[in-house]
Chains A and B, each alone.
Chain A
Amino acid sequence: MSTNTIEARAKYNNGTTTINALITHPMESGSRIGSTVSPHFIQEVRCSYKESILLTAQWGIGMPENPYLSFSFKGGEKGEVVILKWVDNKGDSDTAEVTIK
């Protein structure tokens, strides 16, 4: 995969941190009519903070191209890091470290 597939921001406001992430990925379902492309989609996205998992997203072929995810958690501090990692069905993966602003 090309580098930097994860475009993410983490913003701290009033006790909570909000994460917005946009992942560049074809999310090919492999079931389009007239297409012989094999499925290629992200199966799991993990978000972690301070070495513990915050959220695990398990995705199927119903997620669109370049999937988007947003959620918030209690806590966080400006300057700290949230880690996002995705893995797809072909074993490709990417990880991003997002600094909370």
Chain B
Amino acid sequence: MSNISQKRRIILKTALASGAVGAAMSAGLAYTNPVTKSKNAWPKKAFNARSIDDALLELTGNSTIIPSPKKILIKAPTIAENGVAHITVKSSIPDTESISIFIPNNTSPLVANFKLTPSVINTIITRIKIESSGEIIAIIKANNKLYSAMTKMRLTVAK
């Protein structure tokens, strides 16, 4: 009897697992990349997280941040007109693996996560949307440690 129920569990588990994969495929979250042919799902939980700590845990498995304003340079205007601003994040930390931009006041604090390969120079220039005046935090992952820097931005005209 126990043998049968065990089998049943295994069947159920595999069915559930394949169902989940199928759902992800149909939602277009998992796709085959022509370059490496590897599947790389978008970190949905990290983007849905309401706090930086939760998002970081999902993204990197770690949420201990070392503040290092001298090693990370954020170039951004102090005023964001119409809620959009140009931002440059420059890291002088060796072996920078990823650069993430967080805005704690936004509905989804994680704005963007850039995964860099060693040949990429540790600078990212992009544009971000700001929902209200407040902090903008850049977090750099290097050698399994997280480093952060912060800047403040004021919002002038909302949409």
Q: A interface vs B, CB < 8 Å?
A: 16, 29, 31-32, 43-44, 46, 48, 51-64, 67-75, 83, 85, 87-91, 93
4 interchain residue pairs of minimum CB distance: A91-B28, A62-B111, A70-B125, A60-B47
Which of B2-10, B13-21, B36-44, B141-149 sits within the interface? B36-44
Interface contact A62-B119, CB-CB below 8 Å? no
A54 neighbours in B (Cβ, 8 Å): 116-117, 119-120
Contacts of B119 in A (CB 8 A): 54, 73-75
Chain A residues near B121: list those with CB within 8 A: 16, 71-74
Additional 9 contacts, C-beta under 8 A, given A29-B129, A52-B35, A58-B42: A31-B107, A54-B116, A57-B115, A58-B47, A60-B112, A62-B110, A64-B129, A69-B125, A91-B27
B129–A57 touching, CB < 8 Å: no
Residues in chain B within 8 A of chain A (CB atoms) = 27-29, 31, 33-36, 40, 42-43, 47, 83-84, 86, 101, 103, 106-117, 119-121, 123-129, 159
